[in-house]
Amino acid sequence: MPSTEPRGPRQIARALIWSYKGLRAAWTHEASFRLEGYLSVIFFPLGLWLGNGGVEKAVLCGSLFLVLSAELLNSAIEAVVDKVSPEFHELAGRAKDMGSAAVFMLMLNVMLCWGLVLWQRFS
């Protein structure tokens, strides 16, 4: 059922609080998210420095955000699967593997984006 509650500053503030809680939970409980966060802290400024113009900077830096976003979704999938099905089930394993594969695909995307931009820059 759609929410009939009007959208305003209070709902926006709640959404920001929930997002902050999600980021904090991922940082606290997910080693992969922390590692990718540390790498992003290094590579984001590097992307701003190495990018030639707005589009290149957006590609280099934006690709990092995609990995972090996918890691958040993957962690959410894993948490729900573990809650619903603590014992091993083929479908639960498949869901976790697919979430992990999504993160992996976006890591390949980071390497492709950075490789193509830097190849043009330094060749």
Write the pLDDT tens digit of every residue in 5-46.
678 899 999 999 999 999 999 999 999 999 999 999 999 999
Let me know: does 66 contact 109? Beta carbons within 8 Å: yes
Distances (CA, A) of 35 to 52, 53, 65, 73, 90: 27, 28, 13, 16, 28
Q: Is 3's pLDDT higher than 70?
A: no
Main-chain phi, psi angles of 66, to 5 degrees: -65, -40
- Spell out the CATH class of 9-122: mainly alpha
For range 102-118, the mean pLDDT: 98
Write the pLDDT tens digit of every residue in 42-85.
999 999 999 999 999 999 999 999 999 999 999 999 999 999 98
Catalytic, out of 71, 78, 87, 90: 71
97 CB-side CA count, 13 A: 7
Instruction: Give catalytic status of residue 78 as yes or no.
Output: no
C-alpha to C-alpha distance for 72 and 92, rounded to whole angstroms? 18
